[in-house]
Amino acid sequence: MIHDLWNVACRGARGVAPAALLLCAACSGPAPARPAAGTAGTRTEVAPAASVTVVALGDSLTAGLGLAPREAYPALLDARLRGAGYVVEVVNAGVSGDTTAGGLRRVDWALDPAVRVMIVALGGNDALRGLPVADMRRNLAAIIARAQSRQVTVILAGMEAPPNLGPEHTAAFRRVYLDLAVQYRVAFVPFLLAGVAGDPALNQPDGIHPNAAGARKVADLLWPHVEAAVRAAVPR
């Protein structure tokens, strides 16, 4: 059923202006209490050469489900930033199946003292599980506020509810991200999978998670926001 809802959302997305589009991350099973070493979601010690850390807090789309660790978009951003001469580390704090509540529980762990930029890409699993939109708003607001209280620059990536709950719910869900972006004055990526969703050539067989080529397009979409935030915080 999840695949059917995803396909409906993708077909509808093609006729809507990109600025209004957001897509949901898939629920891929229960989130582990702590990811094993060497996997997506693992925090490693900041390398001696790294002066600043960027952390990507998200679900399976961030974790890179089905991809090699180096193919997930956080690793691609890390390589691109280093190639551009920035002294920085990008940490993948994505956990498959995570909700906004799970992200809030993990945010203090993710925000170690070296973190200066945080990508927040959560909410799709809230939608798939039918969790209250008001709870999602509170969780995301708390994540952003906690990061900003530590002088961390936030980049918010929007998600989209599946259409089976009706247009009013879909609109309310989408409005959460728009409202939070304005309220907290954060950089906003309204459609994390622009140019990827619904394209079989850019997705894995499940039709939900980007393949390696799709992950590269996600990294390209995030790059201007991430590079701008890092440029303001990291020496070259």
Positions marked active-site: 60, 206, 209
Alpha carbon distance 61, 74 (integer Å): 10
CA distance 201 to 204: 8
Coil/strand/helix, residue 58? strand
With 0-12 / 13-18 / 19 or more C-beta atoms within 10 angstroms meaning exposed / middle / buried, residue 205 is exposed
d(CA 126, CA 137): 11
Q: If 0-12 CB within 10 Å is exposed, 13-18 middle and 19+ buried, where does residue 143 land?
A: buried
The rounded distance, in Å, linking the Cα atoms of 136 and 125 is 10
Of 188, 187, 190, 209, the closest CA to residue 198 belongs to 209
Helix spans in the chain (H): 2-13, 60-63, 73-83, 100-110, 124-128, 133-149, 167-184, 212-233
